[in-house]
Amino acid sequence: MPEVVLGFDYGTHKIGVASGQTLTQTANPLTTLFCRHGQPDWPQVATLLHTWQPDALIVGHPFEMTDREANHAPAAKKFARRLHGRFHLPVHLVDERLTTREAWSQLGTTAAKDPTKVDALAAKLIIETWFSQLSDQAAANPLRTFLPIT
C-alpha cells in the first residue's frame, strides 16, 4: 500500500496537483501547473515528485454523467502513461466526475479571484475519491488474521 500519493487533475492548459497520505486518508491541494504548448511542464512535475517522494500517482479519468468517457479522456490517459514511463511509479486512474464542479462550489468567491485554486482542489478531491474506493475494497474483502493456536 502506498503511503504518499500525488494526485493530478489533468487539463491541456492547466494541471491541478495535490498530495495525499494513506495512513490518515487525507489530501491537500498543492499547486496548479501550466502546460506549455499543450504539453505538461515536465521539469515542474519532476520537481514535485522529487520533493514529495510519492509511492504512487493518481490521475483523474474524465467521464460524462452518462458513464461515457469524456472527449478529453484519451489525453488524460496519455498523461498517466507518460507519468508512469518517465517516473516508473504506479499510476491509478480514478473517475473524476464532478470534482471540478465540487471544487468551484467549495471555493465560492475565492475561485473567482484565483481560478487556479480550483484545479488543485479538484486534484485533492480525486485523491479522496481514490481513498474512498480503497476503503470500499477493504470493506468488501477484509483481511483475515490467523493466530497460531497454542
For residue 143, tell me if it sits in a domain. Answer: no
What are the distances in angstroms from CA 109 to CA 63, 103, 118, 132?
Answer: 26, 11, 11, 28
Q: What is the CATH number of the domain that holds 110?
A: 3.30.420.140
State how far the Cα of 48 lies from the Cα of 40, in Å rounded to an integer.
13
Range of the domain at 77: 4-135
For residue 68, tell me if it sits in a domain. Answer: yes
Number of domains, the chain: 1
Three-state secondary-structure class, residue 118: helix
Residue 139 amino acid letter? A
Query: pTM value?
Result: 0.81
Residues in contact with 11: Cβ distance below 8 Å, sequence separation at least 6, in sequence order: 35, 72, 119
Residue whose entry in the numeric block shows the C-alpha cell 507519468: 83
For residue 131, tell me if it sits in a domain. Answer: yes
Residue whose entry in the numeric block shows the C-alpha cell 502513461: 81
Tens of pLDDT along the chain (150 residues)? Answer: 669 999 999 988 899 999 999 888 999 999 999 998 878 999 999 999 999 999 999 999 888 788 787 788 899 999 999 999 999 999 999 987 766 777 657 666 665 666 677 788 889 999 998 998 876 665 555 444 333 333
For residue 141, tell me if it sits in a domain. Answer: no
For residue 76, tell me if it sits in a domain. Answer: yes
